[in-house]
């Protein structure tokens, strides 16, 4: 290139690359739109994928309606959740929400493949997971042996990672509000996937919904949420703690009756912990497996920290992930929360006491203070507890 041409070229370069940039942006936009559009399925396609919602294809039914197994024309196996028609949510809102949620991607969160809002029907299409949900194995007498300690520990760690993503690392903050064994799906390699994230926002709480949901989530709800509607990330932390105790003990909190006087799984676990007998809590089905005692003990202590009555005392999911990755000396858990429990805090004790050995201010912070929550209850507000009122709060 001659000198004047070189000069001309260098002068034009920024404009050329700017034009190129705009073209690339347009292309990205078009690709994003095309990708988005592929998430919309016709009712007919889903009906044919599920053999017209044949009862043999039904995987189960929860508070929102039945779930069917299906196969798309391209060979992909899917689970189709057919939402009950009683939902009062508008089509536009549903589509917006489904679009938003289909951008949530993490290896421990179930993938939303697409959605359909057609002919008065609203459906959500998920990846199909052959091992289905954790409850079907953990609470099944003949199947719980399939879950050795390593698998259980990996499930606990995976769920913690998924929740951390929903709380902190995704583009929108999501409070799940319904963490429980039936909402943890297991893939072929037993990797856990959190399901039904954001469903609370998808459905306004009508009567049917409330009834079913209360029955469905009994035993997992944090007392401050259940009794006062106080919603924060710590509501999920509480449910996660319950789930961990269930995974370790093989006992279902909502139907726990090992000891009449124990007032539920949480209190039973706490009493055993206090008396230095926490090994008695471990699922008998794990008996034949080699247990990593210290790891089991750490998980029990971590779970008890998560289910403490005072939400401010509970760790964040970031704290939990640290405990699982690099266990240090954890704090002594205080009394677990259950409806009717009171909690009081010592004067000046305003920080989360999840760990004695870590005082990292950023890790004890609740990200809810700076981000907008997606799953906000229709009748409640998201709260970061006011420290001055904590010592007098009564449940």
Considering the complex, state which of residue 97 and residue 196 has its C-beta at the smaller distance from Mg ion: 196
Positions of E strands within the chain: 58-62, 65-71, 77-82, 112-118, 121-127, 184-186, 192-194
Give the max Cα distance, the chain.
93
Residues with Cβ within 8 Å of residue 192, at least 6 apart in sequence: 108, 134, 154, 155, 158, 159, 162, 184, 185, 186
Considering the complex, state which of residue 186 and residue 245 has its C-beta at the smaller distance from ligand ATP: 186
273 binds ligand ATP (CB under 6 A): no
| Binder of residue 197, out of ligand ATP, Mg ion, none (CB less than 5 to 8 A by kind) | none
59 binds ligand ATP (CB under 6 A): yes
Q: Which backbone phi and psi does 342 adopt, to 5 degrees?
A: -105, 145
Work out how close the CB of 180 gets to Mg ion at its nearest, in angstroms, rounded to a whole number: 8
Catalytic position from the list 135, 148, 178, 349: 178
Whether 97 and 198 have beta carbons less than 8 Å apart is answered as yes
Positions of E strands within 187-300: 192-194
Work out how close the CB of 116 gets to Mg ion at its nearest, in angstroms, rounded to a whole number: 19
Q: Sketch the per residue contact string, 189 through 208, with ligand ATP: x for CB under 6 A, - otherwise.
A: ------xx------------
> Rounded CA gap, 135 and 252, in Å?
9
110 binds ligand ATP (CB under 6 A): yes
Work out how close the CB of 231 gets to ligand ATP at its nearest, in angstroms, rounded to a whole number: 17
The stretch near Mg ion (CB under 5 A) out of 94-102, 175-183, 247-255, 344-352 is 175-183
> Rounded CA gap, 160 and 154, in Å?
10
132 binds ligand ATP (CB under 6 A): yes
Residues with Cβ within 8 Å of residue 45, at least 6 apart in sequence: 72, 73
Partners of residue 192 on adjacent β-strands: 186
64 binds ligand ATP (CB under 6 A): yes
Work out how close the CB of 265 gets to ligand ATP at its nearest, in angstroms, rounded to a whole number: 19
| Binder of residue 185, out of Mg ion, ligand ATP, none (CB less than 5 to 8 A by kind) | ligand ATP
126 binds ligand ATP (CB under 6 A): yes
The stretch near ligand ATP (CB under 6 A) out of 126-134, 157-165, 225-233, 356-364 is 126-134
Whether 178 sits among the annotated catalytic residues: the reply is yes
**Position among 196, 246, 310, 366 found at the interface with Mg ion (CB under 5 A):** 196
213: nearest Cα among 174, 253, 178, 256: 178
The stretch near ligand ATP (CB under 6 A) out of 113-121, 124-132, 140-148, 333-341 is 124-132
62 binds Mg ion (CB under 5 A): yes
328: nearest Cα among 305, 362, 310, 351: 305
Helix (H) or strand (E) holding 91: helix 91-101
Considering the complex, state which of residue 22 and residue 214 has its C-beta at the smaller distance from ligand ATP: 214
Nearest residue to ligand ATP, by Cβ distance, number only? 62
Q: What is the 3-state secondary structure (H, E, C) of 175-220?
A: CCCCCCHHHEEECCCCCEEECCCCHHHHCCCCHHHHHHHHHHHCCC
* Residues designated as active site: 178
Can you give the binding site for Mg ion, defined by CB under 5 A?
A: 62, 183, 196
Can you give the binding site for ligand ATP, defined by CB under 6 A?
A: 59-64, 67, 79, 81, 110, 126-129, 132-133, 136, 178, 182-183, 185, 195-196, 216
């Amino acid at each position: 290139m001659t000198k004047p041409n070189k000069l001309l070229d260098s002068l034009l370069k920024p404009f050329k690359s700017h034009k190129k940039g705009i073209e690339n942006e347009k292309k990205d936009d078009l690709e994003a739109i095309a990708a988005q559009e592929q998430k919309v399925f016709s009712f007919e396609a889903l009906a044919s994928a599920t053999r017209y919602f044949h009862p043999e294809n039904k995987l189960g039914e929860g508070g929102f309606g039945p779930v069917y197994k299906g196969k798309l024309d391209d060979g992909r196996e899917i689970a189709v959740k057919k939402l009950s028609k009683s939902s009062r949510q508008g089509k536009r809102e549903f589509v917006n929400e489904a679009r938003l949620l289909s951008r949530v991607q993490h290896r421990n969160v179930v993938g939303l493949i697409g959605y359909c809002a057609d002919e008065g029907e609203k459906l959500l299409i998920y990846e199909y997971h052959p091992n289905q949900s954790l409850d079907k194995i953990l609470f099944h007498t003949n199947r719980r042996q399939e879950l050795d300690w390593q698998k259980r520990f990996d499930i606990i760690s995976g769920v913690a990672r998924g929740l951390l993503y929903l709380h902190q690392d995704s583009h929108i903050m999501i409070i799940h509000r319904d963490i429980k064994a039936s909402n943890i799906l297991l893939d072929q390699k037993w990797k856990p996937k959190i399901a039904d994230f954001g469903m609370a926002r998808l459905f306004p709480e009508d009567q049917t919904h409330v009834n079913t949901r209360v029955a469905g989530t009994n035993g997992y709800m944090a007392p401050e949420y259940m009794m006062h509607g106080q919603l924060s990330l710590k509501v999920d932390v509480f449910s996660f703690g319950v789930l961990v105790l269930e995974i370790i003990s093989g006992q279902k909190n909502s139907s726990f009756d090992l000891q009449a006087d124990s007032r539920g799984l949480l209190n039973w676990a706490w009493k055993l912990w206090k008396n230095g007998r926490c090994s008695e809590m471990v699922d008998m089905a794990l008996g034949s497996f080699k247990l990593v005692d210290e790891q089991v003990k750490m998980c029990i202590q971590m779970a008890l920290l998560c289910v403490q009555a005072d939400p401010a005392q509970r760790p964040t999911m970031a704290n939990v992930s640290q405990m699982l990755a690099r266990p240090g000396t954890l704090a002594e858990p205080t009394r677990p929360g259950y409806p009717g429990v009171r909690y009081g805090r010592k004067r000046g004790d305003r920080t989360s006491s999840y760990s004695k050995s870590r005082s990292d201010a950023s890790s004890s912070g609740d990200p809810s203070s700076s981000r907008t929550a997606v799953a906000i209850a229709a009748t409640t507000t998201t709260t970061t507890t006011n420290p001055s009122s904590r010592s007098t709060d009564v449940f």
